[in-house]
Amino acid sequence: RLRSQYVFKMVPILNPDGVARGHYRTDSRGCNLNRFYDEPSQEAHPSIYAVKTYLAGQKASLKLYLDLHAHASKRGCFIYGNHLERCERQLANQLYVKCISLNSPWFEYKGCDFSEKGMSGKDKRDNGLTKAGSGRVGIFLATGCTHCYTLECNYNEGLGTNQIGNCHGVTFPDSSVAGISFGESPVHGYDGVNLRYDRYIGNPSRMTTPKYNREMFCNVGESCA
């Protein structure tokens, strides 16, 4: 249904040279390409230049920009969003992200960041470059699109799970089972349909999640749609 109403433009990889050399953050020249969307060079950052130029020409029809990243340190699946001045636009901005959390047990809304600082902060690994050059900020400034985001997914695991309705055919544990309380008991796995969990007596110090697998990442992606 979505494909009958919208045109999806997908770029499988923006940093092929860096990834081919085993880099998880930088290109073959040692540059973090996600810091050059403000002023990309056609010669030095051709993939970024091409994406920004194309989307700037589509700004009248652009509804959503979603930049997909893996995160090596911060746990969970979460989004970095922009801080918009008008209240109604910021509400729409965050409401979309909240809807993702209502449709996926693995997406963590509490881990998301929509702060103004998050649009301009520096990382010492990027030689003084700021997040003003990130895709979500650069594309927002170039197009004015409300829904510009970076989706981050940890390579390994998250901090917690959401108790949600049966939106994607996910089968949840029966909360009436003695000793089991979903949201307090360790979930042990997910096969794309069923959550597997262990019986737990007492109150663990925090919710736990299983190691992420392909089905979990797919579930987060489906929930973004």
187 vs 181: CA distance, rounded Å:
10
78 vs 107: CA distance, rounded Å:
6
| Amino acid at position 6, single letter | Y
Pairing of strands 77-80, 187-190: unpaired
Contact predicate 121/131, CB 8 Å: yes
**Residues annotated as catalytic (active site), given as ranges:** 152
Residue 117's contacts (CB-CB under 8 Å, 6 or more residues apart) are: none
User: Which phi and psi angles does 218 have, rounded to 5°?
Assistant: -65, -40
